[in-house]
A and B are shown apart, each in its own frame.
Chain A
Amino acid sequence: MGELKNRYDVLVIGGGIAGMQASLDLGEQGYKVLLVEKDPSIGGIMVGLNKVFPTLDCSSCICTPRMAETAHHRNITIQSYTEIEKVEKKGRGFSVKLLEKPRYVVLEDCIGCSLCEYECPVDVPHEYDYDLGARRAIYIPHANAIPQVAVLDVEHCTFCGKCVKVCPTDCIDYTQEARHLDLEVGAVVVASGTTITPMGAKKEYGGDKLANVMNPLAMERVQSSNGPYGHILRPSDGKVPKSIAYVQCAGSRDKTLGISYCSRVCCMYALKQAILTKAYGDVDITIYHMDIRAFGKGFEQFYRRAMNDGINIVKAKVAKITEDEEKNPIVRIEMIDDDGRVEEVKHDLVILSQGLVPKWHPDGQLPAEEDTDGFFRIPDSKIHPTVSTTDGIFIAGVAAGPKDIPDAIIEAGSAAMEAAIYLESGKGAPVAV
């Protein structure tokens, strides 16, 4: 993954699929790239997804080779578990201040054996599984993590010292501290990605207090063979759900949340999850929607397949979700067809198709403007869809607005090309490392 230098041609912010693609496209052209990722592993959201739509290919099977290729590329240095403190214009390039968080594990020495994780006595809700599963206070981030290196969550450490006793390479270093890093780059590609609207945002949908109302990324993990349960079960009691509902636009196209835009992927991921769950066996699945937006290649056929598979597609607005004494979600719907009839329907499990919002708001850490929706502003989105408001800063993937994986990859390639043109034009300052 390379040793950290103090000068690079391009800084790529974010190690998800768009950041990796931009790094690879730049690295292949001979540019020296520093890829900074705030989490302990690269891979972003995609590596945790179960399948991709509409092909139903295994998501991690596509993403993991990309991660390995990025990690092993001669021109790419990965700086994981590191935050951006400040990026400032400096001459023809940028000065960059980073904060590397302590793993308490020597990155170069850890062999990812997990012996420390199995010995640790503290179980903690695992962020990677959206708290449905457990990790230990010291843990390998996930099975496909790159780097495959343990990290110690010191807030949950009991200081028992068991991990260091079992480590076969003596790589646990309790004395590590956060490290400030200063370097210079010629150009910046921002691929800071997305997250979903908070579960508690819609009080009428239970405000994150209903045990069997889940977010769609948690459902991705539940559906994954390496997920927290190993089966599709509901979180309150492990029941195999016989009736599942999806609530569309539960965080998009909703002015009450200040999110008036369509998130573009929710209809398709709901259809995908429904088709996959239905394939498991005897389960009724209903998708409550305002309208289904299936605009991409093969998406309409995917929608029709879902209907042919027996998924109930119901045009109705969900007004409220409550639960009964057995924690079964009760969904109050107003039919958009059928004269606006109001019904209450009991399900075993409900998934809120939450919208996409920006993951990172630079707030002065980076000289590029945000738009009114919180995503990065692209002044000339028709002709230069990846060029930010600042010379030398380019935006890739969902950092510029909601989009699916193929579109994020296309934009990453475009951002890489724009960065290369910028450097070659002499506006930026490509530096030999």
Chain B
Amino acid sequence: MAEKETSPIKVLRDRHGGMSDKLKAYFKDQNQIRKKMKDSLKGGAKTVPEIARDTGLESPDVMWHVMAMKRYGDVLEAGRSGDYYKYELKGDS
């Protein structure tokens, strides 16, 4: 209990040897991809292929990140364009 009160996060970090290089790279990639996608969506609602074209990211990656952002409230659905749904940034994102 004393250990928990002193420095619980340090206990966990030390036990697991800190963030792995793989996780650091993963997290860095995630942040870079999100920045590109948010910049693209600042220009208005887009479909997944449109975001992919705009950012140069692979379309399946964009799809996954759009769905992750939708789940956690960063983007919203914004109607359809043909066979594709469009997505837009939520106001405070």
Which residues from chain A contact B3 at a C-beta distance below 8 Å? 175
CB-CB < 8 A to B20: which residues of A? 155
Please indicate the chain B residues that have their CB under 8 angstroms from the CB of A136 in the complex: 72
For A133-163 the 0/1 string (1 means CB < 8 A from B) is 1101000000000000000001111110100
How many A-B residue pairs have C-beta atoms within 8 angstroms? Tell me.
93
Bound together, the chains give a CA A243 to CA B24 distance in angstroms of 40
Is B11 touching A174 in the complex (CB atoms < 8 A)?
A: yes
> Does A45 touch B at the CB level, under 8 Å?
no
In the complex, are the beta carbons of A237 and B12 less than 8 A apart?
Answer: no
Pair B67/A104 contact, Cβ less than 8 Å = no
The yes or no answer to A231 lying at the interface (CB within 8 A) is yes
Q: A237-B52, A239-B84 are in contact. Are A133 and B12 (CB under 8 A)?
A: no
- Contact string against A for B residues 3-45, beta-carbon threshold 8 Å, 1 for contact and 0 otherwise: 1100011011100101110010011001000000000000000
Asked whether B18 lies within 8 Å of A174 as measured between CB atoms, the reply is no
Interface residues of A in 46-61 (CB under 8 A from B): none
CB–CB A134/B67 < 8 A? yes
B66 with A238: CB separation less than 8 A:
yes
Q: How far is the CA of A231 from the CA of B67 in the complex (A)?
A: 11
Chain B, Cβ-Cβ closest to A121: B27
A242 to B84, CA, bound (A): 11
Contact pick for B30, options A122, A228, A239, CB 8 Å: A122
Choose among B3, B12, B20, B30 the residue with the greatest number of A CB atoms under 10 Å from its CB: B12
Contact residues in B for A132 (Cβ distance below 8 Å): 64, 67
Q: Is A67 an interface residue (CB 8 A)?
A: no
22 A-B contact pairs sorted by A residue (CB < 8 Å)? A118-B73, A122-B26, A132-B67, A133-B67, A134-B64, A134-B71, A136-B72, A156-B26, A159-B9, A159-B18, A159-B19, A173-B8, A174-B4, A175-B4, A175-B8, A175-B11, A228-B67, A230-B77, A237-B49, A238-B66, A240-B85, A327-B59
| Chain B interfacial positions (CB closer than 8 Å to A) | 3-4, 8-9, 11-13, 16, 18-20, 23, 26-27, 30, 47-49, 52, 59-60, 62-68, 70-73, 77, 83-85
Question: Nearest 9 pairs between A and B by C-beta?
Answer: A134-B68, A174-B12, A238-B48, A174-B8, A159-B13, A237-B59, A123-B68, A161-B9, A175-B4
Residues of chain A touching chain B, judged by Cβ–Cβ distance below 8 Å, are 104, 118, 121-123, 125, 132-134, 136, 154-159, 161, 164, 173-175, 211, 228-231, 233, 235-240, 242, 327
